[in-house]
Amino acid sequence: MPVAQRKTGLPLVAVVVSLVGCDHRLTDEVVLRREFDIPTEAAAIHFEARPKESGWFGREGLRINATFQLTAADFNHYLADAKRTSGWKPLPIPLSFLRRMAAIETSKAAQYWHHQSGASPPPPEGSIYNPSEQQLLTAFIKSLPPQPTSGLFQIRTAGDDIMHTVKRVYHLPDHDLNDFMLALLNANKKQIVIRVKTSY
């Protein structure tokens, strides 16, 4: 009898299917904890990931919202370390960074190309099929976790496969992002809030 079957009581094929179909929650949480050096004692008091499983093209359009609760001592230590690095910036997030995370320049260019290639004229700007830059920015800001009144933020990006590729800190808002990890240090609630978004 094969080893895998003898240990589990299930055929090897069933074991593989079970692993492939499992929820990504545990893996996602491990990745975020490792990426941001979150203390092991910190509880994940909120964790939402969509899609939960891979499709034909992987986890296309990945969205993760996570909140980790730290003790006051752990948070103050984490905050002090963050202030000593160049990767963290004071809140609130400047509009220049928000625009790049929302990829407004890319979105407007895609809208222009779409309407230029069509036979019909573009809809009026500000309509549902041709939103203005301000509408795109407002919708994006509403999709983010509320910004704390006190704390720091950091943006990391990979360009592709953000959960498994090496990330770099996004220091200057000089180009649109097609993926990002946004971390907010909430000094009032002693929390680390993370938002992950991909466009692929």
Domain contains 51: yes
Boundaries of domain holding 186: 21-94+137-198
Each residue of 77-129: pLDDT tens digit? 999 999 999 899 999 999 999 999 999 999 988 877 766 776 677 788 888 88
What is the count of structural domains for the chain? Answer: 1
Residue showing tokens 């808002």: 173
For residue 34, being part of any structural domain is answered with yes
Residue 2 forms part of a structural domain: no
Encode pLDDT of 143-170 as tens digits.
Answer: 999 999 999 999 999 999 999 999 999 9
16 is a domain residue:
no
In a domain? residue 113: no
pLDDT in tens, 59-78: 789 999 999 999 999 999 99
User: Can you give the pTM of this predicted structure?
Assistant: 0.82
Mean pLDDT of 169-191: 98
Look at residue 73 and tell me if it is in a domain.
yes
With respect to residue 83, please indicate whether it lies within any of the assigned structural domains: yes
Domain annotation covers residue 27: yes
Residues pairing with 68 in the sheet: 44, 192
Identify the helix (H) or strand (E) that includes residue 5.
helix 3-8
On the question of pLDDT at 4 being above 60, the answer is no
Burial pattern 159-185, b for ≥16 Cβ within 10 A else e, equals eeebbeeebeebeebeebbbbbbbbbb
